[in-house]
Structure 1
């Protein structure tokens, strides 16, 4: 069936662009004269605008149709990518990246929603597993393929090729999606919850702005004021959402989703994974290139075992999950934790002389671990969601992932740069690795709890748990 590969190709584009800039940071610094703050915004600005627009993007898909929003998002994302490639200075690039993130926020929530609403019920668990695998592989391939593109210097474009590559891909996805996606009738035209949009997006912005910019600006008073004020603003937004739902309105957030333990625990696992993986890739990429002198291609090749073994393990993992359930996810978190531990110990013992075989072994184990995690990562919170709530549920999930990712980059990256000011790259990366290990251990605890919850629900015969295990 053409539908699933096409919509997953769009999701791959989003994930690829979120990570490929990591290998291009030194080139951006030399070509555009980008400073540290600009480099962080090139990475964080994309995630920031994406995260703040996700819930609205999911809701608009519910209102106007997932097919229409998907096609609009793909077209706009392609245009924004070209604008990134045409940027003449760091300010233009940051603004284009933020536009790119907003367009992705219209596109990505529709992918999960289309899986949930268009595909037959028996195909959804497998499709959700492939969605999780695609998300993980897009991040790793951003490192590997980005390094290959930069190393080849395609048409002499330098770093610009990592954005221009989206033009032919985006056009192909748009054309194929126009033919493959079914036309569906949207029931009703409920109004957008404008107050909810402002409250939820505003509270996230109040938290994300200081997290991204605070360290670069020396944590001025305004950064702390914004960060502290985000909590009461978010609480006020949730209060409005509850009252609107009680009156029979259409709130932006469906808080009833959080009544399910599987959805809530699954959401927490996604948050921990994204905080770990996004920040760890950022730190290791920067360390390998800027600190240890690797080329963009060399740094990308270090992650080759992660990409290859993640694919192999994910295909095997789907069969293992059918037999052993969510214990496979728990095993994956343990293996990923071992890989991070190897990197931390290697950096502590060898510093910037850490051997390439040691790094390749560690990244290979990370691929195996992540490959066992990914098939259930998305399926855990999304399975059992009613089709009418698919858009808002996917928007909530994706927002949680991205907020966790940008928070991980900001917090772990901030600690990394703080240690770097007083020590070498190896020491800073080692500290970041220990923090990453703590996040992976948190995932292990949550995965064990999720497995127990699903097991208990299976004994009660709930449909949700049966579907989750089959994913």
Structure 2
């Protein structure tokens, strides 16, 4: 029964994470179909990430306190409905609002999947389900461009973009019915009569919005005053921390700050934050390089990124099974492989530019994908290993919020480098892609430093025992 419940959760996670990347190859199709401007397009891409990140922690806490099954099904039905609304959009504003609501539903749904694993499997048994979840994350993120390209190829460039949303509807309805029937209520989920910390929810939400908004609107808000939202967001975050400490003296807070005293959780969350800053934007810039820079179709662009998806999915599954044997060094190895794959991509596009990009990028992207699979799954398993089961949802929500903030920051920062280099070189797409990949490698290097710090701390602890 628990494996069937896991399967339903993985399908739901795949849907929500697929919609992070599948939209990238649909950009020309959306512009042709709805005449969406640059600002609207940025909201279609990044607004999803904004509301996704906003709901993760409160939704994780809600699942912890009130039961996973009801929250999971509600989030999944919301995601299905808003996917249909996005596919039926008749204007730019309609599509943007639908994407914001779709991201919010995804934010409600996702923490329940990790919470489900924590509750249904004992610590020694979690390597396999986390391996499957990691494979799902890697495949959903990387296969999105390929699936989007196929749908647009079949349905046509003018209306094909609608099917990247419509495809969620039948899958979501079936998964919601199965989830209600299969996911257990008792004894795995015991409702607790405790406060959901509404003040903490509001403060954290305001902090996330203030930090993410200037990143989401970086190319639309030209005034430097937008960056004032970042320090005000950090101040709001400080107010949230102070409130949580005070609230936690009376009852269970939204986020148990004591979790950050656990080295593996603290450093693992930092790895997530910085890794997704260096990882997520690359699907966006590779798609622009292939489609707009070299005139490849959406399908060809998706096929070019397929080796990354294959490498990521296989390595994530294997990494989930061997993480308990190798620990955090496995994450460090994965980070090194991703950096090597991106560096190799820079070399091949410059040394053999006359060879078609889908051919010369196959091996570098396969290596980078394999490395990514060894990062996401093992890091999640190690980071949550010491988290109490009844705090699994909120702890996972914090991790996924770090993912969304990192992803939004990376898209803004690496995208800015890409477009600045493109403008400075007179539309030299190879130079722009190389500069963006170097920026991504810089973020990955910071993640490697955090992973090495955890390795060093673990070794010092063992030597003292």
Whether TM exceeds 0.5 here: the answer is: yes
Alignment correspondent of 1:401: 403
Pick one of 444, 450, 457 that aligns with 2:454.
Answer: 450
Give ranges in structure 1 of 5+ residues lacking alignment: 462-471
Written as runs of structure 1 = structure 2, the 5 A alignment for 1:156-167 is 157-167=159-169
**What are the superposed Cα offsets for residues 358-404 of structure 1, whole Å, 9 maximum, x if unpaired?**
21121111122122223302112111210121121011111111111
Alignment correspondent of 2:197: 193
**What are the superposed Cα offsets for residues 69-97 of structure 1, whole Å, 9 maximum, x if unpaired?**
00110111000100010111221111100
Pick one of 237, 257, 275 that aligns with 1:234.
Answer: 237
Alignment correspondent of 2:308: 306
Alpha-carbon shift at residue 116 of structure 1 (Å): 0.6
Relative to 1, partners in 2 of residues 1:293 and 1:260: Cα closer, same or farther, differing over 3 Å?
Answer: same
Alpha-carbon shift at residue 351 of structure 1 (Å): 5.9
CA distance in 2, matches of 1:47, 1:309: 25
Alignment correspondent of 1:144: 146
CA distance in 2, matches of 1:316, 1:200: 36
Written as runs of structure 1 = structure 2, the 5 A alignment for 1:186-265 is 186-221=190-225, 223-246=226-249, 248-265=250-267
Relative to 1, partners in 2 of residues 1:433 and 1:254: Cα closer, same or farther, differing over 3 Å?
Answer: same
**What are the superposed Cα offsets for residues 402-426 of structure 1, whole Å, 9 maximum, x if unpaired?**
1111111112112222222323222
Alpha-carbon shift at residue 191 of structure 1 (Å): 2.0
Alignment correspondent of 2:124: 122
Alignment correspondent of 2:341: 339
Alignment correspondent of 1:465: none
Contact 2:70–2:180 (CA under 8 A) maintained in structure 1: no
Alpha-carbon shift at residue 217 of structure 1 (Å): 2.2
**What are the superposed Cα offsets for residues 144-168 of structure 1, whole Å, 9 maximum, x if unpaired?**
1111111122899411000000011
Contact 1:26–1:290 (CA under 8 A) maintained in structure 2: no
Relative to 1, partners in 2 of residues 1:114 and 1:323: Cα closer, same or farther, differing over 3 Å?
Answer: closer
Contact 2:204–2:240 (CA under 8 A) maintained in structure 1: yes
Number of residue pairs matched by the alignment: 459
Written as runs of structure 1 = structure 2, the 5 A alignment for 1:169-184 is 169-184=171-186
CA distance in 1, matches of 2:414, 2:354: 20
1:421 is paired with a residue of what secondary structure? helix
Alpha-carbon shift at residue 355 of structure 1 (Å): 3.9
Give ranges in structure 2 of 5+ residues lacking alignment: none
Relative to 1, partners in 2 of residues 1:155 and 1:234: Cα closer, same or farther, differing over 3 Å?
Answer: closer
Pair 1:32-2:34 in alignment: yes
Q: CA RMSD in A?
A: 2.1
Relative to 1, partners in 2 of residues 1:134 and 1:458: Cα closer, same or farther, differing over 3 Å?
Answer: farther
CA distance in 2, matches of 1:88, 1:119: 45
Relative to 1, partners in 2 of residues 1:379 and 1:438: Cα closer, same or farther, differing over 3 Å?
Answer: same
CA distance in 2, matches of 1:187, 1:318: 30
CA distance in 1, matches of 2:190, 2:329: 39
Contact 1:154–1:161 (CA under 8 A) maintained in structure 2: no
Alpha-carbon shift at residue 323 of structure 1 (Å): 4.2
Alignment correspondent of 1:22: 24
Contact 2:134–2:373 (CA under 8 A) maintained in structure 1: no
CA distance in 2, matches of 1:353, 1:212: 35
CA distance in 2, matches of 1:41, 1:28: 13
Alignment correspondent of 1:101: 103
Alignment correspondent of 1:377: 379
Contact 2:30–2:158 (CA under 8 A) maintained in structure 1: no
Alpha-carbon shift at residue 40 of structure 1 (Å): 1.5
TM-score, normalised to structure 1, is 0.92
Pick one of 420, 438, 444 that aligns with 1:440.
Answer: 444
CA distance in 2, matches of 1:313, 1:428: 29
